[in-house]
Amino acid sequence: MKSYVSQKIKDFLPRIRNFMEDEVYPMEPLMGVTEHEQFNGMLKETREKVKEAGLWAPHRPLSEGGLGLSLSEFAMVSEELGRSPLGHYLFNSQAPDIGNMEILRLYGSEEQFDRFYYPLVNGDIRSCFAMTEPEHAGSNPLWMSTTAIKDGDDYVINGHKWFVSSADGAAFAVVMAITNPAAEKNHHRASQILVPVSTPGYIHVRRIRIMGYAGRGYFSHSELRFEDCRVPQSNRLGPEGGGFAIAQERLGPGRIHHCMRWIGICERAFEMMCARAVQRELSPGQKIAHRQVIQHWIADCRTEIHSASLMVLDAAAKIDHLGQREARLEVSMIKFYVAGVLERVIDRAIQVHGGLGVTDDTLLAYWYRHERAARIYDGPDEVHKSVVARHVLREYGLEISI
């Protein structure tokens, strides 16, 4: 355990760790090989056990049955949960639901709380977030064509979205759509609208096949169409034209959650790498770990994971104390840095495992496929590097665009 953790974390973390070891890791070998319905039943049962253990939705306030953790404290929990691909889902703190819970709590109306927020917090339903469009560069979130036009008391939505994570099985989508095309500033043109998936005109086109892990239930990313999809204006989340500002509120903490989940993966992959290097002999008495190049990889991984973890905790603490606007530089730095560490650690762990590393007998190949996207979603590396450079160069009197 890290040396500077709060009493709350000292109390909860060992319990979470024990639960992961006793209940979650043993389920991993069944992923993808157990029949879908049966595996879903097992997930449901284990989620009940998380509730009974008093560890459910750790990111939520105490008043909502969560653990009442600060973002920095939750970051440490997220690292622990991230050690398994099942961790966050079993504790009901998985993306994109966790981000949707956050914006609903901040901006939801009483009706939206009853209809969407509480069922999400209880784990009765799932949700998705539909912003990116095939026709426009997702790296520029201000550029979109989906519209929501007022008609009587309703909005009528038309548009095309893709890479909508977890849309398959979601009860509702948070849809970014242009409501104020004439707004002077681009930032004020879009709103976020809650669209139940049962609404006529909400069309689930397909689950997109990605790096060979499509077809695995909630690991799906979907393409959607909205064709004269009509919802009441009361389904708008927050103020009209406030969609982009709300998206920003969601993305800061969301990137902390992702980064700590990635560090959890790094820690587990690193442990596997060291265990294999110490156990596997290249010739009698000569372990893989005896080779200097492997020792250097071990040193590189340990140091990179440690620095990544400290950077994320620092960004989380800054958000806790000063708000996320003040932490934009730190959030961009961790987004590309930690995604890079993740890629390098998994790659080295696979290399040390040799042929075994690319089989599905360990989790390494799964992570290698699944986590390549880390350098793309929530802003590609290049965009975040430009944000960092912009902050730095501003100090030198030069304004650059991104």
Query: Please, which residue, 162 or 270, has the CB nearer to ligand FAD?
Result: 162
Query: Please, which residue, 5 or 208, has the CB nearer to ligand FAD?
Result: 208
Query: Please, which residue, 302 or 375, has the CB nearer to ligand FAD?
Result: 375
| Shortest reach from residue 146's CB to ligand FAD, in Å | 11
Query: Please, which residue, 25 or 377, has the CB nearer to ligand FAD?
Result: 377
Query: Please, which residue, 221 or 318, has the CB nearer to ligand FAD?
Result: 221
Q: Please choose, from the candidates 164, 165, 169, 181, the residue with its C-alpha nearest in 3D space to the C-alpha of residue 226.
A: 164
| Shortest reach from residue 10's CB to ligand FAD, in Å | 34
| Shortest reach from residue 18's CB to ligand FAD, in Å | 31
State CA 7 to chain mean position distance. 26
| Shortest reach from residue 218's CB to ligand FAD, in Å | 12
Tokens of 129: 């977030």
| Shortest reach from residue 259's CB to ligand FAD, in Å | 15
| Shortest reach from residue 370's CB to ligand FAD, in Å | 8
Tokens of 141: 């979130």
Query: Please, which residue, 60 or 221, has the CB nearer to ligand FAD?
Result: 221
| Shortest reach from residue 167's CB to ligand FAD, in Å | 8
Instruction: List phi, psi (to 5°) of 337.
Output: -70, -50
Query: Please, which residue, 241 or 380, has the CB nearer to ligand FAD?
Result: 380
**Residue whose CB is nearest to ligand FAD in the complex, by number:** 138
Q: Which amino acid is at 393?
A: L
Interface residues with ligand FAD (CB under 6 A) are: 96, 129-132, 137-139, 163-165, 221, 373, 376-377, 379-380, 382-383, 386, 402
Query: Please, which residue, 278 or 398, has the CB nearer to ligand FAD?
Result: 398
SS (H, E, C) the chain: CCCCCCHHHHHHHHHHHHHHHHHHHHHHHHCCCCCHHHHHHHHHHHHHHHHHCCCCCCCCCHHHCCCCCCHHHHHHHHHHHHCCCCHHHHCCCCCCHHHHHHHHHHHCCHHHHHHHHHHHHHCCCCEEEECCCCCCCCCCCCCCCCEEEEECCEEEEEEEEEEEECCCCCCEEEEEEECCCCCCCHHHCEEEEEEECCCCCEEEEEECCCCCCCCCHHHCEEEEEEEEEEEEHHHEECCCCCHHHHHHHHHHHHHHHHHHHHHHHHHHHHHHHHHHHHHCEEECCEEHHHCHHHHHHHHHHHHHHHHHHHHHHHHHHHHHHHCHHHHHHHHHHHHHHHHHHHHHHHHHHHHHHHHHHHCCCCCHHHHHHHCHHHHCCCCCHHHHHHHHHHHHHHCCCCCCCC
| Shortest reach from residue 139's CB to ligand FAD, in Å | 3
Instruction: List phi, psi (to 5°) of 221.
Output: -130, 130
Query: Please, which residue, 292 or 401, has the CB nearer to ligand FAD?
Result: 401
| Shortest reach from residue 210's CB to ligand FAD, in Å | 6
